[in-house]
A and B are shown apart, each in its own frame.
Chain A
Amino acid sequence: MSIQVENLSFSYDKHEVLKNVSFSATENRILSVLGPNGVGKSTLFSCILGLLPDYSGKIEVDGEDIRNLSAREMARRIAYIPQSHYPSFNYTVFDMVLMGTTQQVSVFSTPGKKQIERAERAVERMGIAHLSHRGFSMISGGERQLAIIARALAQDAHTLIMDEPTANLDFGNQIKVLTQIKSLASDGYTIIQSTHNPDQTFLFSDLVLALKDGRVFACGKPADIVNRELIHALYGVDIELQSICNDAVRVCVPSFAAQP
C-alpha cells in the first residue's frame, strides 16, 4: 500500500475544502482524480505532499505517517509533477532534471557523478536525452512535462503526484505524456494524477477517485463508476457513454450529439 489516506479533512480558514476523504493508491496503478475546478484536487495533492500540515485525518506513505517524515524523507518517497509552467530563469533541460537529485547530497554540496548518471538515465527513460542542453523554456509543452517527469525519476521517489499532466498540451503530446505515465506505472511506480478528461480515465487509469464538494463521490474502476450519472453529478452536463473497439474503450459523448 503506497499511499493511504484516511478521513482527510482540510479547511482554509472557515471554508472546508476536503471532507472525510479516504482512498488508497498502490504500486503499478494509475489513480485518476476526477472532479470540477475548485473541488479540492490541488488541496488534496498539497496535503499528501506535506505542503499543508494543518489537515485532520491520516496520510500514510509506504506505511509511515507523513507527519513523522522530514522534507528530505518525503522527497525520497513522493515526487511532485506540477502543471507545465515556465521557471523564472531559463535552465537547461538537464539542469532542471538534475535538481531532482538535490535531496541525495548534503546541504553544502552540489550533485556529483552518481546524481548526474541518475539524471542521465531519467532523461533517456523519458526519451528527451537529445534535448538535454536546450533551454527549458525553448522546448514544447509536452517536452517540458516529460522533463519534469524525468526530474521526478531522478529524485528516485516511487510515488508520483501529477497535477493535470496533460493540461495545455496538444493532442499528440497528451498521448505521448500519458503513454509514458502508463509505462511508468507498469514499471512499479504509484501514480496519482488529476484530470479533466473523463475519456482519458478509460485509456490511462486503473482507478478513479471522483470528488464532489470536497467529498469522495465515487471510487473504483473507471468501467464501473464513470458513467452518465457520475458525469452529470460532477459536471452538470448530460452525456451518453459509447463503447467502441469491443468495449476496450469508452467515450463520453455530449447528449446533443448522441441523439439517434
Chain B
Amino acid sequence: MAAQDSYKRSHVIVIALLIILLFITVIVSFMLGRYSISLKELFNILFSRVIPIDTFWSEQMEVVVFNIRLPRILMACLVGCCLSAAGAAYQGVFQNPMAAPDILGASSGAAFGAALAILLGASSRLIMATAFLFSLLTVGMVFVLSQRTKGNKVIGLILSGIMVGSLFSAGTSFIKLVADPSNQLPAITYWLMGSLSGITKKELALAAIPMAIGLIGLFILRWRINILTLGDDEARTIGVNTNLVRLSVIICSTLITAASVSVSGLIGWVGLVIPHLSRKVIGNNYRYLMPASMIFGAIFLLVVDNISRNLLAVEIPLGILTAFVGAPFFIYLLTRKGETL
C-alpha cells in the first residue's frame, strides 16, 4: 500500500509542478510583446477588476491586457490543450503511438471548409464556423464509412480516415487553384499555416464551448482509454463496452480538434509530440497522462505563440514553428536513452 501511495503522490506532484509552470508561462506571456508591460503593472491591471486600485497606467495598456493579450493567451492554452489531449486519446483508441488529432480527417475537413468560405468571400467568423462544421462532417463521414468496412474496426477507421482526408485535401488544392491569386490565395495559404492573431473575446467564447465539452469528456473517460489500448477482445473480457467507449472518445476528440483547427488553422506536431513528451515524464497510464498532456500542450503552444508574435517584426505562422520545434524534439525523444516507448 505504501509503495502505491508514494507512486501516486509522485504523479500528483508532477502534475502540480506542471500547473505552476503553466501559471508562470501565462504571466510571462502577458508581459511579452511590442507594448511591454511590467510585472507590477500587470498585477495592478488584473486586480483592478476585482478590487479598487488607483490607476497609474494608461488606458491603452489596459486594452492591450484585456482585449488583445488575454484572449490570445487563453486561446493558445486551449488550442494546445485540445490538440494534445486529442492526440493522446487517439493514440490510445487506435493502439498506435503515431496517431495524431488529424488521423480521422478533422484537419483536412476544416481546411477544406475554411478554403471554401474564403473563396466565397465569407467573414472571419463565418470562415471559423464553416471550418468547424466541415471538420465534424468529415469525421462523421469517416465513421459511417468505417462501419461498412469488413474486419478490424480500428484499421477500418484509420484507412477510411486516410481516404476521406485525402479527398478533402484534393478539394482544398482545387479551391486554391481557382482562387483569386491576388487576395484569396494568400488568405487561404496563410490560414493553412496556422495562426492565433486577431483572436477576440467573442471567438474565444464561441470556441470554448465545444472545447470544454470535449476536454471534460476525455478527462472523465481517461481510465477507460487504458483498457482500449489492450485491443478489443481483451478489453471486452475485462467488461468494457469497447464500441461505446471508442465512439465517445472519438466524439470528444473530434469536437476539440474541430474547434481548435477552426480558430487556429492547421497546427501540426502538437498532438503527436506533447503526448509522447508527457509519456516520458509521467508514464503511459491515462489517469495521469491525460491531465499531464493537457497542461503540457497548453504550455507548449503558449510558448510557441510567444515566439510567433515576438521573434520577428512579422508574425511567424504557428504551423511552421511547431514543425521546426516539434520534429527535432521528436527525434530527440526517439533516440534518447532509457526505457523505450
Q: Please tell me which stretch of B186-194, B197-205, B280-288 contacts chain A, meaning at least 4 of its Cβ atoms lie within 8 angstroms of it.
A: B280-288
B202-232 Cβ-contact flags toward A at 8 Å (1 or 0): 0000000000000000001111101101100
In the complex, are the beta carbons of B237 and A49 less than 8 A apart?
yes
> Size class of A's contact patch?
35 or more
Once A95-B226, A111-B223, A120-B1 are accepted as A-B contacts, the answer to whether A82 and B234 lie under 8 Å apart by CB is yes
Complex: A103 Cα to B240 Cα, angstroms: 7
Once A87-B230, A120-B1, A120-B4 are accepted as A-B contacts, the answer to whether A92 and B240 lie under 8 Å apart by CB is no
In the complex, are the beta carbons of A92 and B233 less than 8 A apart?
no
Complex: A88 Cα to B99 Cα, angstroms: 12
The one of A75, A103, A132 in contact with B3, judged by C-beta atoms closer than 8 angstroms, is: A132
Q: Which of B231-272 contact A (CB under 8 A)?
A: 233-234, 236-241, 245
Residues in A whose Cβ lies below 8 Å from that of B48? none
Task: Give, as a whole number of angstroms, the nearest-CB distance from A44 to chain B.
Answer: 14
Q: Is A234 among interface residues, defined by CB-CB distance under 8 A?
A: no
The one of B7, B97, B238, B340 in contact with A88, judged by C-beta atoms closer than 8 angstroms, is: B97
Q: Is B96 among interface residues, defined by CB-CB distance under 8 A?
A: yes
In the complex, are the beta carbons of A51 and B236 less than 8 A apart?
yes
Q: Is B184 among interface residues, defined by CB-CB distance under 8 A?
A: no
In the complex, are the beta carbons of B284 and A91 less than 8 A apart?
yes
Q: Is B341 among interface residues, defined by CB-CB distance under 8 A?
A: yes
Residues in B whose Cβ lies below 8 Å from that of A133? 3, 7
Q: Is A94 among interface residues, defined by CB-CB distance under 8 A?
A: yes
Interface of A is mostly: mixed
Nearest chain-B residue to A132 (Cβ)?
Answer: B3
Residues in A whose Cβ lies below 8 Å from that of B92? 89
In the complex, are the beta carbons of B340 and A90 less than 8 A apart?
yes
Nearest chain-B residue to A136 (Cβ)?
Answer: B284
Nearest chain-A residue to B234 (Cβ)?
Answer: A82
The one of A89, A108, A111 in contact with B220, judged by C-beta atoms closer than 8 angstroms, is: A108
In the complex, are the beta carbons of B339 and A138 less than 8 A apart?
yes
Task: Give, as a whole number of angstroms, the nearest-CB distance from A28 to chain B.
Answer: 22
Q: Is A40 among interface residues, defined by CB-CB distance under 8 A?
A: no
Q: Which of A94-153 contact B (CB under 8 A)?
A: 94-95, 99-100, 102-103, 105, 107-111, 116-117, 120, 132-133, 135, 137-138
Complex: A105 Cα to B285 Cα, angstroms: 17
Complex: A91 Cα to B225 Cα, angstroms: 13
Residues in B whose Cβ lies below 8 Å from that of A108? 220-221
In the complex, are the beta carbons of A80 and B234 less than 8 A apart?
yes
Task: Give, as a whole number of angstroms, the nearest-CB distance from B130 to chain A.
Answer: 34
Q: Is B169 among interface residues, defined by CB-CB distance under 8 A?
A: no
Residues in B whose Cβ lies below 8 Å from that of A5? none
Once A80-B237, A102-B240 are accepted as A-B contacts, the answer to whether A89 and B339 lie under 8 Å apart by CB is no
The one of B3, B224, B230, B285 in contact with A107, judged by C-beta atoms closer than 8 angstroms, is: B224
In the complex, are the beta carbons of B226 and A99 less than 8 A apart?
yes
Complex: A117 Cα to B4 Cα, angstroms: 9
Complex: A137 Cα to B283 Cα, angstroms: 13
Q: Is B25 among interface residues, defined by CB-CB distance under 8 A?
A: no
Complex: A116 Cα to B245 Cα, angstroms: 23
In the complex, are the beta carbons of A102 and B4 less than 8 A apart?
no
The one of B96, B222, B283 in contact with A92, judged by C-beta atoms closer than 8 angstroms, is: B283
Once A90-B339, A109-B223, A120-B4 are accepted as A-B contacts, the answer to whether A100 and B285 lie under 8 Å apart by CB is no
Sampled A-B contacts (14; CB under 8 Å): A71-B239, A71-B240, A72-B239, A79-B237, A88-B96, A89-B91, A90-B341, A91-B284, A92-B283, A94-B7, A102-B227, A103-B240, A117-B1, A120-B1
Which residues of A does B touch, CB under 8 Å? Answer: 46, 49-51, 71-72, 74-76, 78-80, 82, 87-92, 94-95, 99-100, 102-103, 105, 107-111, 116-117, 120, 132-133, 135, 137-138, 155
Closest 8 CB pairs of A and B: A75-B239, A103-B239, A80-B237, A110-B223, A88-B95, A89-B284, A72-B239, A95-B285
4 more contacts with CB within 8 A, not counting A80-B233, A102-B238, A135-B339, are A89-B341, A99-B238, A110-B287, A117-B1
